[in-house]
Amino acid sequence: MSEELENIEVLIIGSGPAGYTAAIYAARADLNPVVIQGLQPGGQLTTTTEVDNYPGYPNGVDGTKMMEDFKAQAERFDTDTRWGMVTKVDFSERPFKVEIDGTKNVMAETVIISTGATAKWLGIPDEERLNGFGVSACAVCDGFFYKGQEVVVVGAGDTAAEEATYLAKLCTKVTMLVRRDEMRASKAMQKRVFNTDNITVLFNHETKSINGEKGVESVTAFNNQTQEETVIPATGFFVAIGHKPNTDIFKGQLEMDDNGYLIVEPGTSKTQIPGVFAAGDVADHVYRQAVTSAGTGCMAALDAERFLAAQE
């Protein structure tokens, strides 16, 4: 006898701004959404301190508090928020079969994927120790706190180049640590970096330590050719060595770009599988902001609602 599985109208995977905004919209449309929170309930914002750029919070808000507010708003309309990790999906036929925590299966008429992306870190101990106290992976989020100060950016791709030029407008000096003798960033982005007076690029340089007890005070870098060390005064340390979208469980089922980001039909949240939608950083390597994630979460809920209406 086959087991009777719970059938969910809108299953939302992930609980960052995209997931909860999708839940608010889906719940208000009486679609009884279920949010599977994932490994990091609240998502990346719970790892930052103050969020100053989300509209509606004139005095800023703690990232964790903001995500508690998102959750409370979704639950006010009876969103069912559940602990757990989605471990397997089968998008070959609808309703879709979704496995949670490797043990439990549910069926879903529609799925909204908002699993986000994870910033890559260098993996040195100081980075973890001072995370949120000078160490950051998002210049647009945290750069303002270093206005008029000196900072270090690690990385050599488009993100690092973009973060360095963004920070150069706020900070007195930006030092970029590039581990090879050239940058990976596009020529146009490199040109912007080299044309900015207060950015210094140190090629062949890597991070030895981030110094300071309660906050970042300086960074010790070393030249990987000569081993010579340099101590760079800095109050901010920005790691911009890429993000990894959380899409491993969708491999082979959904279209992705070379970096693993989900591909959606432009201007919509639709993946190539009808009834499966993507929102937030998992499908966006360019903007990656809480407010853009929330916006695409709204789109995904409206797309799911229209999809379900069209099935009736």
Active site residues: 138, 141-142
Nearest residue (CB) to ligand NDP, 50 versus 158 = 158
Is 159 near ligand NDP (CB under 6 A)? Answer: yes
Interface pick for ligand NDP out of 158, 281, 303, 305 (rule CB under 6 A): 158
Would you state the structure tokens that stand for residue 274, as one six-digit string? 């009808």
CB of 185 to ligand NDP, least distance (A): 7
Per CB under 6 A, contacts with ligand NDP among 229-248 are: 241-243
What are residue 267's phi and psi, to 5 degrees? Answer: 80, 5
Closer by beta carbon to ligand NDP, 243 or else 270: 243
Taking CB under 6 A as the criterion, the residue among 65, 179, 192, 208 binding ligand NDP is: 179
Contact between 192 and ligand NDP (CB under 6 A)?
A: no
Which residues ranging from 99 to 138 are in contact with ligand NDP (CB under 6 A)? 122
Cβ atoms within 10 Å, residue 162: 20
- Rounded to a whole number of angstroms, the minimum distance from the CB of residue 154 to ligand NDP is 5
| Residues in CB range of 20: below 8 A, 6 or more apart | 35, 67, 70, 71, 73, 74, 79, 294, 297
Q: Tell me the residue nearest to ligand NDP as measured from the CB.
A: 157
* Of 28 and 179, CB closest to ligand NDP: 179
CA 172 to each of CA 2, 215, 250: distance values in angstroms, whole numbers, following the listed order: 66, 18, 44
The site that binds ligand NDP (CB under 6 A) totals a number of residues, namely 18
- Distance between CA 293 and CA 201 in Å, rounded? 32
Which residues of the shown chain bind ligand NDP in the complex (CB under 6 A)?
122, 154-160, 162, 179-180, 184, 241-243, 259, 285-286
